[in-house]
């Protein structure tokens, strides 16, 4: 990691190269003196999860005039995860100190992280052993990204002084309020969001049917089973309601430790130990 105040930062997103949240984040960090490289999808790629482009070529080109003069920017035809892979392998000469993704226009709370291209871009950095941060403004209507960008600036400065373990991923959501209304920063755990979802059937001009996935949040569950963490640590969906900036450490290892222990010590597992395939039994 850089020893001086200037950090090497890679920024991506899923809202695309023209997104205001991206521009606010990149310009704020560049004005703070950091070396900023942007590699983002050439169009909106929200809810693409951790998808990769494997069956067609990825095209990329440099972008001028959108950002602060000190920002190097690339537009990429791939997914958010593609963008980070491409940046690390083909654009940057040295590894960045941090990978940032965002600022997403809309929250990434609870189970949203499973679908989020914003989180997946940051996750790609974490997989490569780089401390990474996913940033989201918890509103689809507000365009006040500066509070989130200023927090990102303070966060990377803090992490430069007090580094986190290698490959840590922080999922950060910022309430859509002015700086003076922020209640504080809450180290949180992932909550759960439930949606009513439906496929709306429509007809195109040629008379052929197509379907549009629609959904809205109907329930934010504050207290999922606190198996691994004490209940006084709030969920992100609860803390954001109280105007806290939520910081949730995530990991790409999805192993359910509690279930592993349960299955390993259960008679269910003992029965499986004696299971033989049909071919084995007939031989």
Domain of 18: which CATH number?
Answer: 3.40.1210.10
How many domains in the chain?
2
What is the residue range of 86's domain?
8-190+228-255
Are 184 and 130 members of one domain? yes
Q: Is residue 155 part of a domain?
A: yes
Residue 59 shares a structural domain with residue 128: yes
Same domain as 214, residue 237: no
Domain match, 95 and 205 both: no
Kindly state whether residue 41 falls inside one of the protein's structural domains: yes
Pairing between strand 60-63 and 72-76? antiparallel
24 within domain boundaries:
yes
pLDDT of 3 reads 44
Q: Measure Cα distances from 214 to 64, 107, 199 in Å.
A: 36, 17, 6
Cross-strand partners of 38: 11, 73
Pair (205, 97) in one structural domain:
no
Q: pLDDT tens digits, residue range 110-162?
A: 888 988 999 999 999 999 999 999 999 999 999 999 999 999 999 999 999 99
* 15: DSSP letter: S
CA dist., res. 175 & res. 136, Å (int): 9
Residues 141 and 250 in one domain: yes
Domain identity same for 244 and 108:
yes
Asked if residue 210 and residue 123 are part of one domain, the reply reads no
Domain final residue, candidates 221, 240, 269: 221
- As a whole number of angstroms, the distance between CA 256 and CA 38 comes to 35
Q: What is the pTM of this model?
A: 0.86
Contact residues for 164 (Cβ-Cβ < 8 A; gap 6+): 131, 170
Q: Within a domain: residue 275?
A: no
Residues 105 and 78 in one domain: yes
Residue 262 lies in a domain: no
> Is residue 70 included in any domain, yes or no?
yes
Do 92 and 201 reside in the same domain of the chain? no
Cα–Cα distance, 90 to 160 (Å, whole number): 25
| 263 inside domain | no
Whether residues 87 and 33 share a domain: the answer is yes
276 located within any domain: no
Q: Is 7 exposed, middle or buried (0-12, 13-18, 19+ CB in 10 A)?
A: buried
In a shared domain, residues 74 and 158: yes
Helix, strand, or coil (residue 282):
helix
Encode the chain (283 residues) as per-residue pLDDT tens digits.
544 579 999 999 999 999 999 999 999 999 999 999 999 999 888 878 888 878 888 899 999 889 999 999 999 998 999 999 999 999 999 999 999 999 999 999 988 898 899 999 999 999 999 999 999 999 999 999 999 999 999 999 999 999 999 899 999 999 999 999 999 999 999 887 665 656 677 888 888 887 766 665 545 555 555 556 777 888 898 899 999 999 999 998 888 777 788 787 877 777 777 765 555 555 5
């Amino acid at each position: 990691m850089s020893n001086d105040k200037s950090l090497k930062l890679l920024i991506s997103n899923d809202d695309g190269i023209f997104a205001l949240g991206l521009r606010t984040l990149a310009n704020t960090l560049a004005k703070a003196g950091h070396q900023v490289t942007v590699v983002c999808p050439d169009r909106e790629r929200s809810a693409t999860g951790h998808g990769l482009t494997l069956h067609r070529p990825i095209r990329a080109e440099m972008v001028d005039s959108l950002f602060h003069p000190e920002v190097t920017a690339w537009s990429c035809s791939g997914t958010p995860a593609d963008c980070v892979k491409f940046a690390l392998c083909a654009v940057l000469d040295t590894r960045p100190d941090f990978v940032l993704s965002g600022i997403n226009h809309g929250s990434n709370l609870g189970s949203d992280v499973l679908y989020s291209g914003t989180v997946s871009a940051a996750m790609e950095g974490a997989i490569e052993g780089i401390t990474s941060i996913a940033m989201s403004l918890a509103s689809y209507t507000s365009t006040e990204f500066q509070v989130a960008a200023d927090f990102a600036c303070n966060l990377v400065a803090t992490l430069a002084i007090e580094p986190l373990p290698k490959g840590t991923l922080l999922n950060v959501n910022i309430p859509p309020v002015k700086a003076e209304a922020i209640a504080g920063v809450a180290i949180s755990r992932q909550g759960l969001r439930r949606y009513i979802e439906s496929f709306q059937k429509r007809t195109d001009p040629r008379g052929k049917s197509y379907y549009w996935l629609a959904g809205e949040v109907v329930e934010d569950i504050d207290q999922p089973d606190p198996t691994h963490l004490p209940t006084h640590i709030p969920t992100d969906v609860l803390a954001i309601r109280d105007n806290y900036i939520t910081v949730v450490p995530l990991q790409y290892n999805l192993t359910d430790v509690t279930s592993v222990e349960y299955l390993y010590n259960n008679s269910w597992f003992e029965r499986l130990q004696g299971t033989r395939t049909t071919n084995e039994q007939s031989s």
